[in-house]
Amino acid sequence: MPRTGSKSLGLLDRSLVFITGKGGVGKSSVTAALGLLAAKAGKRTLICEVEAKGDVARLLDCEPGGFQPMKARENLFLMSMNTEEALREYLRIYLRLPVVAKLGPLAKTFDFVANAAPGVEEILVVGKLCYEVKEAKYDLILVDATSTGHIVSQLASPKGISELVRLGMVKDQVAWMEDILYDSSQTSVIVAATPAETPINEALELAERIDHETEVHLGALIVNKVMPELFSRSEEEFFALLQDPRSTKVLNKIVSADVGPLLRGSNAALEMRRCAAPYVERLMASAGDTPVALLPLMFGVGSGMKLVRALGEALAAEWDELLWQA
């Protein structure tokens, strides 16, 4: 199935955006920042935490969301994925089965089928997200998605089920999911990484797999926690001169304090940036036409809403034209 729709459409003008990446790269922070940006722009926005760890809720300084969406901020809502609840909702909506307190034997049957048939459990997650798009209660759904090892199987699950089931109600339902998921004017994926060898390698590998193994549009790559450039080339040379013991001694007298820790800290920051640079350059060289954003390491910002707001400002500054349709 071709990837239909306009790839030039702004990421936050779509209906469904997945944010994924290796664990620890800050995908929850990026998701929360994007959600806050969209909500402030007047978009009714839902953030779904697929792994239901409560990371986004902590970042937004609110209570963790359940399967039923809850309001976190103005125009911003939060939910946590739960496959048992998703199955319960599916049975109620499509099969008209009564809601029961416990799924009991039916849940055990589902577990058996999910283990036997690849894509069954994943289709519940994707199906719930596509259902929310279909219901159009929200302008934008942002997904704090699973890590690099599982996201491809989720994105490919409708296609897998479609190939497995040729006729009937399930085939019809998968078809409308594919219409949403594989339409680049509605759905896109953002892959996040940090400037280190393993996260960059995984991000590039994941981008290639999304392109070759799914029909979902790859919208962008983010390198998070990039050490900012502290000095220009001429300033670096001057900074090196300051570290001469005689210069340091003079500086100590001028400021009436020991500048050694400051100089050593600046040296460490410079070294971190130098070490990270080849990995960032490799990702940018390999990205092709896929947009790349570099987000700075946030010094002294802390966590929670302060971090989310700072990341949002950085995203808006770096990516304004990509986030919104011109």
* Segment 129-133 mean pLDDT: 93
If one counts every other C-beta atom within 10 angstroms of the C-beta of residue 102, the result is 9
Query: Mind spelling out the 3-state secondary structure of 254-300?
Result: HHCCCCHHHHHHHHHHHHHHHHHHHHHHHHHHHCCCCCEEEEECCCC
142 burial level (CB within 10 Å; 0-12, 13-18, 19+): buried
239 contacts: CB under 8 Å, gap ≥ 6: 231, 263, 266
C-alpha dist (Å) from residue 163 to 64, 170, 171: 37, 11, 9
Residues 167-184: tens digit of each pLDDT: 455 566 778 888 999 999
pLDDT bracket for residue 274 (50, 70, 90): confident
> How far is the C-alpha of 163 from the C-alpha of 222, rounded, in Å?
33
Per-residue pLDDT tens over the stretch 109-125: 444 444 444 456 788 88
Least confident of 61-75, 256-270, 284-298: 256-270
Query: CA geometry: angle at 2 spanning 8 and 289, to 5°?
Result: 40
Mean predicted confidence (pLDDT) in 146-171: 70
Token pair, residue 128, equals 């719930």
Residue linked to tokens 């926690």: 225
Token pair for residue 176? 């409308």
| pLDDT tens, position by position, 192-246 | 999 999 999 999 999 999 989 999 999 999 999 988 776 656 666 666 666 677 7
What is the residue-averaged pLDDT of the chain? 81
Which comes out higher in pLDDT, residue 314 or 97? 314
Across 244-282, b (16+ Cβ under 10 Å) vs e yields: eeeeeeebeeeeeeebeeebeebeebbeebeebeebbee
**What's the pLDDT at 116?**
43
Of 127, 133, 128, 196, residue with least CA distance to 157: 127
pLDDT of residue 120: 67
Average pLDDT over residues 274-301: 88
C-alpha atoms less than 13 angstroms from C-alpha of 65 in its C-beta half-sphere = 27
Question: Is the separation of the CB atoms in 230 and 299 below 8 Å?
Answer: no
| 101: pLDDT strictly greater than 50 | no
Sorted by where each starts, the structural domains of the chain and their CATH numbers stand as: 11-229+279-323 (3.40.50.300)
At residue 259, the pLDDT reads: 66
Which is more confident, 243 or 293? 293
Instruction: Please check the confidence at residue 292 and state whether its pLDDT lies above 80.
Output: yes
pLDDT tops 80 at residue 279: yes
> How far from 21 is each of 29, 151, 155, 200, 206, CA to CA, in Å?
12, 9, 14, 10, 8
Dihedral sign computed on CA atoms, order 216, 203, 127, 56: negative
Residues 308, 33: contact at Cβ < 8 Å?
A: yes
Among the listed residues 3, 10, 67, 1, the one whose alpha carbon sits nearest the alpha carbon of residue 190: 10
Residue 313 has pLDDT above 60, yes or no: yes
What is the average pLDDT across 304-316?
Answer: 91
Taking only Cα atoms into account, the Rg of the chain, rounded to an integer number of angstroms, comes to 23
At 92 the pLDDT is 76
pLDDT of residue 2: 40
Burial of residue 96 (number of CB atoms within 10 Å: 0-12, 13-18, 19+): exposed
Distance from the Cα of residue 41 to its chain's centroid: 19
Q: What is the mean pLDDT of residues 13-21?
A: 95
Residue 263 has pLDDT above 70, yes or no: no
Position 127 scores a pLDDT of 87
